[in-house]
Amino acid sequence: MSSTTTASHVDDFCAAVRPLLASDQLQIDESSALEVGGLAPKAIVVPSSIEQIQRVLSEAVIHVVSVIPIGGGTHLGVGNVPSSYDVALSLARMHRIIAHEPADLTVTVEPGLRIDDLQRALAVHGQFLPLDPACEAASTIGGVLALNAYGPRRHAFGTARDWLIGTRVVHADGSLSKSGGRVVKNVTGYDMHKLYVGSLGTLGVLVEATLKVAPLPDSESTLAIGSRSAAHGAELILAAHDAGLALHAAELLSPPATHAVLGQSSWCALMRVAGGAGAVARSLREIDHAATVAGAAIETLESSTAWDAWSTTFRPRGLALRISVMPSRVGETMQVLDRRLTGGSAQLSATVTTGLIRASLDASSDGQALAVINAASEVAAQFDGSMVIDAAPAAVKRGIDVFGPTRSDFAIMKRLKDEFDPKRILSPGRFVGRL
Amino acid sequence: MSAAATSNAQEQANDGVMPQVVRELVRALGRERVLSTPEELIAFEYDGTIERGKPQAVVFPESTEQVSAAVRIAHRFDVPVIPRGAGTGLSGGAVATIGGVVIALTRMKRVLEIDVANRLAVVEPGVVNLDLSKAAAPHGLYYAPDPSSQRACTIGGNVAENAGGPHCLAYGATTNHVLGAEIVLADGEVAWLGGTTRDVAGYDLIGAFVGSEGTLAIATKIVVRLMKLPESTRTLLAIFDTVDDASNSVSAIIAAGILPSALEMMDRNIIAAVEPVIHAGYPLDAEAVLLIEVDSLEEGTVEQAEAIEKLCSANNAREVRLAVAQPDRERLWAGRKTSISALGRLYPNYYVLDGVVPRTKLVEVLRKTYAIAERYGLAVANVFHAGDGNLHPNLLFDERDPGATARVLDAGAEIMRVCVDAGGSITGEHGVGLEKRDFIAWIFGPDDLAAMAKLKPAFNAGERYNPCKAFPTHKGCGEVRQAHIQRTAGAIGTDIYV
């Protein structure tokens, strides 16, 4: 579907916001760099304050122009193709760390702060935010929260919802609302911030986030264990998990993924062992023993190199899928996916203990991409799971809902969107059920 | 005056249609699942707080269909619905403030499934918190959130309040352990939020639902995460001659990058109440003790316990005791778990508060708490989740003293204000309920509350579910607290857990 607003609406909007902004905060040109689903914005606004964002959105709702908030612009392919996209709202200039209280293990940040910069600042105090999505250097905390992006550490640390304790959000009408706070335990008011995580900018523009952070582990080591089959790799991981070993991450990689990450070509259990020195030593010993008993090759890797390679492999681009099944069914699901998706060339990685499988492929044509999507969707259904498409060619995405079929709670979601954004100006059409 | 009159008007309106509502409820659910005589209803007028409110009917559904049927009837006759678990709540969440139908979920107490391989359980809302852990224990699993009322409180109530407990420090509160729920909306429709697999596309409605204090929907099935019982647990008791030293030890432990599974503080007045009864070994001349627990692999607990002992000693702990064997550990915990009810030995009444401050502000806020209590001529006993800055000052008094109750409420409000001014919050785990709905404006402004208010229409809830709770009063709620306080003050200090 094409844009529902006319150029004159956008012109009127630009005329209205121009006095509110410095000359370099409003760019009126179609920028292909900020394309979303093949659509380019007609204008780019780069605010530097919450007040500016409030006034920009107030004008946007008056002129009914659609706005997509943008962080580092590294994951713009996520979500459905928007139904309309007039203005890119870049948060690049809002990148401060507002407060970091090391002794409270909390940090308050602006959305445009790059994840790498946040991690570096926390590391100075021996801390980190234990979210490790497959990011790029430019990826921001706001983007991670808007996408609910996560990586292998989800095994031990959950997702953004488990770390976000407070937000400030500018809504479609320009109002600013706060939820949660800066304390780690708090049940005052509804947990609105849970709703904003993963909402793809459809309920508001996140302008401030307070997160819990964790102490960096004293000791860390990464192991790669070659395994005969998907089932065998999954078993090794589940056994280590059941033994309570000190695992911060445990991914099961398909042979093409193993090849991309560490240059070998077997199924592989990739484990990040971390914690206190004694617990890590014991965990390494037990994993080594289990591998030896199973006759599996085991290799110790340089942690950051291995996980950076994982990250590079699983950035959502080309064709990227995420399948969620029960943890106990990961082994068989992976085996079937490996066989069905383009005959064994799919790079697959599963966070076994949470039942999450990523597939990264290069489709040679739109038709092939669609065939792969259909096959993966069938496999997900076969194992009582669900699937989300993180990246696909725009032409393919236009014909489908990348989030899959809606469920019995969709009516609530739709009413929520109606309440927050009745004129559908915020990232319209991008979310579940094309909200 | 006029507000109180409105409240009465609502109750009278209920009274008018109630005989018909009761007849319909009996027809839909069966006589044996409906209470409606004044004598039967008395036990359902209150929860763990000082607030009271009289429902016109209480129903005990045994299935989702029956919950839905009861809700549809209330919807048709436009009467309030108040969901209720065990009634142990500490913010008035289960009190029928303006009357209506209480839906007691205590007969829906089946553990429907324990999926060992996937470490999750599907339960009905009336399952008692501790019973779930007991059911999971043979499989080496447990349910982590452990409010001190866990022998009585229900998972459904825990979900409504986003309940906490001592072991939330490392493992999070209820919200971090609930994956999904089947819910009944205010019009009787049934929907699922979240699910059994981890990633369900769409807004995190289950995240918004947990902690919504019964105002958005009623959970009829709940999917929770179970955790593996740890290989090793070590419990330390650190004894201090000053509260400041104990508070500083808490900060030092967190700052050193150690996140114990529990980190609790008890002060001199708590020790004085507990020790003569429980004989947990808390020295009567200590100003404060810390109860600290670590659990993980054996190697991990050894390392952490050693580090914690050093940090406490560096902060002037008089003595640090270590318990490893389960009976020894349980003895140390026995004092903590019974501490509030033991206060009854010292004073006829106590009023338990629930505030949160940044951990680094513990010293400052505790000092102010003692000063405020002293200024009001009240004794105060502190037992709380120090590790996450969640304070529970207990104000001790005798309600027969003229003006005592009013002083307690004023002192409580001042202490809450101190928490807010320190960058904290007015409730960490008990909920806003009735008790604190007028304090919420200290934290959230009109625009913040307006955003939250959008959830009610999204859930199609209107004011059907648990009206007059969790948010500042609106038309029709009345000044319930003021109207009821004088005649219900005697309820303070009956059977309270934190």
Query: A106 and A204: one domain?
Result: yes
Please tell me the distance from the alpha carbon of residue B497 to that of residue B339, in angstroms, as a whole number: 8
Partners of residue A184 in chain B, C-beta under 8 Å:
356, 359, 388-389
DSSP of A336-385? HHHHHSGGGT-EEEEEGGGTEEEEEE--SSHHHHHHHHHHHHHHHHHTT-
- Structural domain tally of chain A? 4
Mean predicted confidence (pLDDT) in B250-277: 93
- The confidence band for B343, taking pLDDT boundaries of 50, 70 and 90, is confident
* C-beta atoms of A412 and B460 within 8 A: yes
pLDDT at residue B334, as a whole number = 87
Amino acid code (one letter) for B46: Y
Query: A114 and A195: one domain?
Result: yes
* B64 within some domain: yes
Cα–Cα separations (whole angstroms), residue B124 to A84, A234, B155, B458? 44, 31, 8, 24
Query: Which residues in A325-341 are b (16+ Cβ under 10 Å) and which e?
Result: bbbbbbbbbbbbbbebb
Partners of residue A413 in chain B, C-beta under 8 Å:
202-203, 205, 458
* A2 within some domain: no
Report whether A397 contacts A320 (CB < 8 A): no
Q: Of B318, B341, B364, which closes a domain?
A: B341
Partners of residue A208 in chain B, C-beta under 8 Å:
none
Query: A307 and A363: one domain?
Result: no
Report whether A148 contacts A141 (CB < 8 A): no
Query: B27 and B134: one domain?
Result: no
Query: A54 and A136: one domain?
Result: no
At residue B84, the 3 state secondary structure works out as strand
B227 touches chain A (CB under 8 A): no
pLDDT at residue B479, as a whole number = 55
Q: Which residues pair with A51 in a beta bridge?
A: none
Taking chain A, what is the end-to-end CA distance rounded to the nearest angstrom? 14
* B440 within some domain: no
* A366 within some domain: yes
Question: Which one has a higher pLDDT value, A26 or B346?
Answer: A26
Q: Which residues pair with B380 in a beta bridge?
A: B395
* A416 within some domain: no
How many interchain CB pairs under 8 A, A with B?
A: 250
* C-beta atoms of A276 and B443 within 8 A: no
Q: What is the CATH number of the domain that holds B368?
A: 3.30.70.2740
Q: What is the CATH number of the domain that holds A75?
A: 3.30.43.10
Q: Of A311, A329, A349, which closes a domain?
A: A311
% chain A with pLDDT above 70: 98
Run of H or E residues at A300: strand A298-301
Query: B128 and B209: one domain?
Result: yes
Partners of residue B388 in chain A, C-beta under 8 Å:
183-185
* A202 within some domain: yes
Q: What is the CATH number of the domain that holds A382?
A: 3.30.70
Please tell me the distance from the alpha carbon of residue B456 to that of residue B465, in angstroms, as a whole number: 10
Residue B1 pLDDT > 80:
no
B296 touches chain A (CB under 8 A): yes
Distance from CA of A223 to the nearest CA of B (A): 19
pLDDT at residue A33, as a whole number = 85
In the sheet where B34-35 sits, what is the strand order?
B34-35, B57-59, B101-104, B81-84
Mean predicted confidence (pLDDT) in B416-422: 97
B430 touches chain A (CB under 8 A): yes
**Among chain A residues, CA nearest to B295:** A244
**Among chain B residues, CA nearest to A432:** B202
Please tell me the distance from the alpha carbon of residue A43 to that of residue A47, in angstroms, as a whole number: 13
pLDDT at residue B489, as a whole number = 34
Mean predicted confidence (pLDDT) in B294-310: 97
pLDDT at residue B344, as a whole number = 82
Q: Say which DSSP state B425 is in.
A: B
* C-beta atoms of B117 and A413 within 8 A: no
Please tell me the distance from the alpha carbon of residue A126 to that of residue A219, in angstroms, as a whole number: 12
Distance from CA of A291 to the nearest CA of B (A): 20
Query: B128 and B212: one domain?
Result: yes
B208 touches chain A (CB under 8 A): yes
Q: Of A182, A215, A248, which closes a domain?
A: A215
Partners of residue A246 in chain B, C-beta under 8 Å:
296-297, 300
A191: left (phi over 0), alpha (psi -120 to 50) or beta: beta
Query: A191 and A232: one domain?
Result: no
Query: A292 and A324: one domain?
Result: no
* B168 within some domain: yes
Please tell me the distance from the alpha carbon of residue B190 to that of residue B206, in angstroms, as a whole number: 14
Q: Of A311, A341, A370, which closes a domain?
A: A311
Distance from CA of B36 to the nearest CA of A (A): 33
Domain enclosing residue B384, as ranges: 347-431
Question: How many CA atoms, within 13 angstroms, populate the side-chain half-sphere of residue A64?
Answer: 9
Please tell me the distance from the alpha carbon of residue A169 to that of residue B380, in angstroms, as a whole number: 39
Query: B352 and B337: one domain?
Result: no
Query: B330 and B312: one domain?
Result: yes
Mutate to test the interface with B, among A183, A283, A324, A430 (most CBs of B within 10 A): A183
**Among chain A residues, CA nearest to B231:** A244
Query: B131 and B99: one domain?
Result: no
Cβ neighbors of B5 (< 8 A, separation 6 or more) are B478
Which of A47, A272, A249 minimizes the C-alpha distance to A151?
A249
* B133 within some domain: yes
Burial class (CB in 10 A: 0-12, 13-18, 19+), B138: exposed
* C-beta atoms of B118 and A324 within 8 A: no
Residue B202 pLDDT > 90:
yes
* C-beta atoms of A412 and B191 within 8 A: yes
% chain B with pLDDT above 90: 81
**ipTM for the complex shown:** 0.96
- Tens of pLDDT along chain A (435 residues) come to 344 556 789 999 999 999 999 999 999 977 778 999 999 999 999 999 999 999 999 999 999 999 999 999 999 999 999 999 999 999 999 999 999 999 999 999 999 999 999 999 999 999 999 999 998 889 999 999 999 999 999 999 999 999 999 999 999 999 999 999 999 999 999 999 999 999 999 999 999 999 999 999 999 999 999 999 999 999 999 999 999 999 999 999 999 999 999 999 999 999 999 999 999 999 999 999 999 999 999 999 999 999 999 999 999 989 999 999 999 999 999 999 999 997 768 999 999 999 999 999 988 899 999 999 999 999 999 999 999 999 999 999 999 999 999 999 999 999 999 999 999 999 999 999 999
Please tell me the distance from the alpha carbon of residue B387 to that of residue B395, in angstroms, as a whole number: 22
Interface of B with A in 19-58 (CB under 8 A): none
- The confidence band for B339, taking pLDDT boundaries of 50, 70 and 90, is confident
Helix axes of A230-242 and A277-293: crossing angle, nearest 10 degrees: 140
Report whether B222 contacts B465 (CB < 8 A): no
Query: A268 and A369: one domain?
Result: no
At residue B16, the 3 state secondary structure works out as helix
* A240 within some domain: yes
pLDDT in tens, A259-302: 999 999 999 999 999 999 999 999 999 999 999 999 999 999 99
Q: Which residues pair with B123 in a beta bridge?
A: B111, B222
Please tell me the distance from the alpha carbon of residue B122 to that of residue B145, in angstroms, as a whole number: 16
B449 touches chain A (CB under 8 A): yes
Mean pLDDT of chain B: 91
Query: B320 and B372: one domain?
Result: no
Partners of residue B425 in chain A, C-beta under 8 Å:
181, 183, 186-188
Residue ranges with strand state E in A200-261 = 205-212, 214-215, 219-227, 247-253
- The confidence band for B7, taking pLDDT boundaries of 50, 70 and 90, is low
Mutate to test the interface with B, among A107, A127, A185 (most CBs of B within 10 A): A185
What is the token pair recorded at A401? 């809902």
Residue B346 pLDDT > 90:
no
At residue A320, the 3 state secondary structure works out as strand
pLDDT at residue B494, as a whole number = 35
Query: A306 and A319: one domain?
Result: no
Report whether B391 contacts B355 (CB < 8 A): yes
Cα dihedral value B350, B356, B360, B362, nearest 10:
-10
Partners of residue B204 in chain A, C-beta under 8 Å:
148, 161, 194-195, 197-198
Partners of residue B193 in chain A, C-beta under 8 Å:
409, 412
Query: Which residues in B86-119 are b (16+ Cβ under 10 Å) and which e?
Result: bbbbbbbbbbbbbbbbbbbbbebbebeebbeebb
**Among chain B residues, CA nearest to A353:** B118
* A412 within some domain: no
Query: A278 and A370: one domain?
Result: no
Q: What is the CATH number of the domain that holds B293?
A: 3.30.70.2190
Please tell me the distance from the alpha carbon of residue A206 to that of residue A166, in angstroms, as a whole number: 11
Query: A199 and A290: one domain?
Result: no
* C-beta atoms of B201 and A432 within 8 A: yes
Distance from CA of B175 to the nearest CA of A (A): 9
Mean predicted confidence (pLDDT) in B301-315: 97
* B335 within some domain: yes
Residue in B200, B423, B459 closest to A412 by CB? B459
* C-beta atoms of B358 and A177 within 8 A: no
Query: B212 and B190: one domain?
Result: yes
Q: What is the CATH number of the domain that holds B157?
A: 3.30.465.10
Q: Of B196, B228, B260, which closes a domain?
A: B228
Q: Which residues pair with B180 in a beta bridge?
A: B194, B223
* C-beta atoms of B459 and A388 within 8 A: no
* C-beta atoms of B447 and A214 within 8 A: no
Partners of residue B442 in chain A, C-beta under 8 Å:
none
Please tell me the distance from the alpha carbon of residue B479 to that of residue B99, in angstroms, as a whole number: 14
pLDDT at residue B12, as a whole number = 66
pLDDT at residue A6, as a whole number = 63
pLDDT in tens, A204-229: 999 999 999 999 999 999 999 999 99
Which of B160, B169, B285, B179 minimizes the C-alpha distance to B224?
B179
Residue B398 pLDDT > 70:
yes
Please tell me the distance from the alpha carbon of residue A252 to that of residue A329, in angstroms, as a whole number: 13
Please tell me the distance from the alpha carbon of residue B226 to that of residue B234, in angstroms, as a whole number: 21
Report whether B53 contacts B480 (CB < 8 A): yes
Which of A220, A236, A247, A238 minimizes the C-alpha distance to A269?
A236
pLDDT at residue B13, as a whole number = 67
Partners of residue B457 in chain A, C-beta under 8 Å:
415, 419
Query: B250 and B193: one domain?
Result: no
* A65 within some domain: yes
Q: Of B314, B341, B368, which closes a domain?
A: B341
* A410 within some domain: no
What is the token pair recorded at A162? 């488990």
* B85 within some domain: yes
B306 touches chain A (CB under 8 A): no
Partners of residue B427 in chain A, C-beta under 8 Å:
186-188
Cβ neighbors of B306 (< 8 A, separation 6 or more) are none
Query: A348 and A289: one domain?
Result: no
At residue A314, the 3 state secondary structure works out as helix
**Among chain B residues, CA nearest to A246:** B297
Query: B160 and B239: one domain?
Result: no
Please tell me the distance from the alpha carbon of residue B280 to that of residue B273, in angstroms, as a whole number: 11
**Among chain B residues, CA nearest to A416:** B458
pLDDT at residue A364, as a whole number = 86
Partners of residue B448 in chain A, C-beta under 8 Å:
177-179, 189
Please tell me the distance from the alpha carbon of residue A379 to that of residue B298, in angstroms, as a whole number: 41
Mean predicted confidence (pLDDT) in B474-496: 45
* B497 within some domain: no
pLDDT at residue A1, as a whole number = 38
Question: How many CA atoms, within 13 angstroms, populate the side-chain half-sphere of residue B188?
Answer: 12
Distance from CA of B492 to the nearest CA of A (A): 23
Partners of residue B390 in chain A, C-beta under 8 Å:
185
**Among chain B residues, CA nearest to A407:** B192
Domain enclosing residue A305, as ranges: 219-311
Pairing state between β A214-215 and A127-128: antiparallel
Query: B180 and B242: one domain?
Result: no
Amino acid code (one letter) for A332: E
Report whether A72 contacts A138 (CB < 8 A): yes
* B164 within some domain: yes
* C-beta atoms of A278 and B302 within 8 A: yes
Query: B324 and B368: one domain?
Result: no
Report whether B48 contacts B354 (CB < 8 A): no
Q: What is the CATH number of the domain that holds A233?
A: 3.30.70.2190
Query: A101 and A208: one domain?
Result: yes
